[in-house]
Amino acid sequence: MAITGKVALITGAASGIGRAVAIRLAADGAKVAIVDLAPADDVVAEITANGGTARGYRADVSNEEQVQKAVAQTETDLGTVQILINNAGLHPDPPTKIMDMSTALWHKTFAVDLDSMFFFTRAVLPAMTRSGWGRIVNLSSASVYAVTPPGGAHYVSAKAAAGGLATALAVEVADYGITANAIAPTTVRTPGALHLGGDAMLEAVLATQAIKRVMEPSDIAGVVSFLASDDAAMITGQVIHADAGSTRV
Contact pattern from residue 105 through residue 124 relative to ligand NAD, giving x for each residue in contact according to CB under 6 A and a dash for the rest = -------x------------
Is residue 88 involved in binding ligand NAD (CB under 6 A)?
yes
Q: Which is nearer to ligand NAD, 112 or 133 (CB)?
A: 112
Strand 81-86, strand 53-58: pairing: unpaired
Rounded to whole angstroms, how far apart are CA atoms 192 and 100? Answer: 22
Pick the closer one to ligand NAD by CB: 30 or 139: 139
What's the number of CA atoms in the CB half-sphere (13 Å) around residue 249? 11
Q: How far separated are the first and last CA of the chain, in Å rounded?
A: 33
By CB under 6 A, residue 32 contacts ligand NAD: no
- Distance, CA of 217 to CA of 41 (rounded, Å): 19
Q: Choose, from 57, 145, 155, 176, the residue flagged as catalytic.
A: 155
Q: Is the dihedral of CA 58, 67, 75, 17 positive or negative?
A: positive
Nearest to 48, CA basis, from 87, 22, 74, 81: 22
Count of residues interacting with ligand NAD (CB under 6 A): 26
Q: Could you confirm whether 155 is annotated as catalytic?
A: yes
Binding test (CB under 6 A) with ligand NAD, winner from 87, 96, 208, 209: 87
Between the CA atoms of 179, 185, 188 and 193, what dihedral angle is there, to the nearest 10 degrees? 100
Give strand pairing partners of 139.
183
* Binding track over 182-211 against ligand NAD, x by CB under 6 A: ---x-xx-xxxx------------------
**Stretch near ligand NAD under the rule CB under 6 A, chosen from 25-33, 73-81, 87-95, 170-178:** 87-95
Of these, 7, 16, 223, 242, which contacts ligand NAD (CB under 6 A)?
Answer: 16
Residues near ligand NAD (CB under 6 A) are: 12, 14-18, 36-38, 60-62, 87-90, 112, 139, 141, 185, 187-188, 190-193
Active-site positions?
A: 155
